[in-house]
Amino acid sequence: MGKMADNVQLKDYRFIFGEPKTREEVIGQLQSEEQLWRTFCELTVPYQEEIIAFCMGNQGIKITYDSVFKYIFNPEAKPERLSDLLSEIIGEKVREKQVLPGESREIFDGSSLVILDILVELESGAQADVEMQKVGNLFPGQRSACYSADMLIRQFSRVKARKKEAFRYKDVQKVYSIIFFENSGMTFRGHTEYLYHAKHIFDTGLEMDLLQEYFLIPLDIFRKTTHNEISKLEAWLYFLSSDKPEDILKVVGKYPEFRELYQDLIVFRYQPKELIDMYRKALREADASDIKYMVEEQQREIEELKETNESLQETNENLQEANESLQEQITKLHILLEEMKEK
């Protein structure tokens, strides 16, 4: 019975990933072209192993790499994909109208020029900025607010230029900042939810649409959460966060339409040059100053933990002293009690 189940699973696995290859076959393919092999060897070892495992058919590929993310969610080639993902996140049906230019912003966060990942206009006139971030610490609330404000001002400028004298502020529509985090970092420490929604509200109950909404999605927290009967949103989050075959089979088993998305990626198994180029691009786009900032943030976290530990040690020492003092008092009381008995 177990063997039959394994065969069925293997069949389903090949149905999505294609026929497997051995490690030797993959390496032989890479070595068949001198330039290709040289480029492959320039990658870090973890990247090399990911490529080999993927080309063998042992696992999927991470969608969190910027170039892979944009390839799958290319709004011009497959607009329905991004529309469906946004609908699940926002909680209402939305449809993409057009891709907006990903212009370099004239905002500096002290380390690198802020550039949108994917910026689209929806049929309602609202705009959505979809970001994929490696580390939560590199995308603090202030940076999120700057992105959102910049998106709102750009929309305001475009609409006002188009409508001229007929412009009214009610013509300006919502802006959604949707940010995925591969690693949530200290920002989400102590939290177990994997979808966070925020918008401006008044503490008096006054209702007024202030247009800016945020959706933060830490994918590492999602992966740590148990999911049995998966929803469509959870299927999308599995697609974005996991390259494990068992998760891929779970998604395709519940939502067969995802098979096309996975197979769009599997084509890279047979085109290693394009795959390696994507990984090279991911490395090039790793901004040195952001890495420095990440190291500084990690160091700050270590210092904070050190201070917490020292504070706990001090508290422990104080408790120990109090305990010794109490024991001393108890001993004195015992002596006094014995003396009273003798009298």
Within a domain: 252:
no
Same domain, 103 and 219: yes
- How many percent of the chain have pLDDT more than 90? 38
**Residue finishing a domain among 207, 242, 277:** 242
Cα→Cα distances 179→42, 140, 218, 233, 241, Å: 31, 11, 8, 15, 13
Within a domain: 251:
no
pLDDT in tens, 175-225: 999 999 888 877 888 899 999 999 999 999 899 999 999 999 999 999 998
Same domain, 275 and 335: no
Domain count, the chain: 3
Within a domain: 176:
yes
Same domain, 235 and 96: yes
Max distance between CA atoms of the chain, in angstroms, equals 105
State the CB neighbour count (10 A cutoff) for residue 89.
21
Same domain, 338 and 300: yes
Same domain, 93 and 222: yes
Q: E-strand spans in the chain?
A: 96-99, 118-122, 127-135, 175-183, 196-199, 212-218
Same domain, 84 and 204: yes
Same domain, 147 and 122: yes
Same domain, 97 and 192: yes
- The domain in which residue 278 lies consists of 1-61+261-286
Most confident of 103-107, 162-166, 305-309: 162-166
Tell me the C-alpha distance between 298 and 306, whole Å: 12
Same domain, 266 and 230: no
Within a domain: 12:
yes
Same domain, 183 and 276: no
Same domain, 89 and 1: no
pLDDT in tens, 265-309: 888 888 888 889 888 877 776 555 456 556 666 777 777 788 888
Per-residue pLDDT averaged across 249-275, rounded?
88
pLDDT at 201: 92
Within a domain: 247:
no
Within a domain: 135:
yes
Cα→Cα distances 299→137, 293, 306, 315, Å: 12, 10, 10, 24
pLDDT at 37: 95
Within a domain: 248:
no
pLDDT in tens, 44-99: 898 899 999 999 988 888 887 777 788 888 877 888 999 999 999 999 888 878 77
Q: Does the pLDDT value for residue 229 go beyond 70?
A: yes
Within a domain: 196:
yes
Same domain, 80 and 215: yes
pLDDT at 285: 63
